[in-house]
Amino acid sequence: MNSKPRLLTILDVVTVLLLLVASYMVFFYAPQEAVMGDVQRVFYFHVASGWVGMLGFIGAAVSGIIYLIKKDRKWDIVGLAAVEIGIAFIFINIVTGSIWARPIWNTWWTWDPRLTTATVMLLIYLAYLMLRQGIEDPDRRARFGAVYAIIGSLSVPLTYFSARIFRTIHPVVIGSGDPSATGSFDMTPMMTQAFMFSLFTFTFIFIDLFWHRIRLGQKTDHVEQLRLKTME
């Protein structure tokens, strides 16, 4: 296997530095929200995690389309990497949302359209990982994964727009949402800067983790092929 590219090492360092700066902006630069207090600061990385999760799932769908056109297994590796990262970050998104909801909505959980669609989306992709495990033939597994990721990606716009098209208590900070949403707030310019920087940082985190996960997938494939060759 190839040794770690220099650019990836640089990306690791830049990503860690960006995360440090984003954390500083969230905890010290952005002002405390007047009503909710400190728990509002969860919002910055909560939304950014949702962004990364959705990037992952859309990335998996794009990889799936390319795989079906080119029939090259490397796109299956890319798709799997994207789904795995998407799952980790949507999990963060859902759990932090629940933690925020406890003092603001006075409940850990409610079957609101946004929370429900996000949970269904997470379950769809957890099922993707589980179902892949049950398919032995690599080409069949890749074909299944590609089709599943394309169909599963329909849950991404559904989740994103659920807070905009259905009656919901989930606040919409960007654009207009349901006026009955509980926990909405107007962002000050410093809050907006912290928010935008968090999104920027998490995009770097996604790229960095994605690259590492693709390399791991390539290595797994290489070991698997060597193992088959040894067994022959």
| Residue 7 binds to other proteins (criterion: CB under 8 A) | no
Among the residue ranges 68-76, 89-97, 127-135, 136-144, the one whose residues contact other proteins (CB under 8 A):
89-97
Question: Which of 87, 86, 99, 80 lies closest to 141, judged by CA?
Answer: 80
Instruction: Decide: is 123 part of the binding site for other proteins (CB under 8 A).
Output: no
Residue list 203-232, contact with other proteins (CB under 8 A): 205, 209, 212-213, 216, 219-220, 222-223, 226-227, 229-230
- E strands within the chain? none
Tokens 């949402």 found at: 177
Q: Give the shortest CB-229-to-other proteins separation in angstroms.
A: 8
Counting Cβ atoms within 10 Å, is residue 145 exposed (0-12), middle (13-18) or buried (19+)?
buried
Q: How far is CA 161 from CA 8, 150, 164, 185, 219, in A?
A: 34, 18, 5, 19, 38
Q: How far is the CB of 133 from other proteins (least distance, A)?
A: 15
Our CB check for other proteins shows the closer of 4 and 71 to be: 4
Q: Give the Cα separation of 36 and 140 in Å (integer).
A: 51
**Subset of residues 44 to 73 that bind other proteins, contact rule: CB under 8 A:** 45-46, 49
Comparing CB distances to other proteins, the nearer of 34 and 154 is 34
Position among 3, 35, 186, 189 found at the interface with other proteins (CB under 8 A): 35
* Among 42, 135, 196, 207, interactor with other proteins by CB under 8 A: 42
Q: Which amino acid is at 111?
A: W
C-alpha distances in Å from residue 140, one per residue of 37, 42, 132, 167:
52, 41, 10, 41
**Minimum separation from the CB atom of position 13 to other proteins (A):** 14
How far is it, in rounded angstroms, from Cα 208 to Cα 224? 25
Q: Tell me the per-residue interface mask from 129 to 168 with other proteins, x by CB under 8 A, - otherwise.
A: ----------------------------------------
Q: Does 96 bind other proteins (CB under 8 A)?
A: yes
Choose, by CB under 8 A, the member of 11, 14, 21, 39 that binds other proteins. Answer: 39
Helix (H, G, I), strand (E, B) or coil at 25: helix
The string over 100-135, giving b where at least 16 C-beta atoms fall within 10 Å of a residue's C-beta and e elsewhere, is: bbeebbeeeeeebbbbebbeebbebbeebeeebeee
Residues making contact with other proteins (CB under 8 A): 1, 32-42, 45-46, 49, 85, 88, 91-92, 95-96, 99-100, 102-106, 182-183, 205, 209, 212-213, 216, 219-220, 222-223, 226-227, 229-230
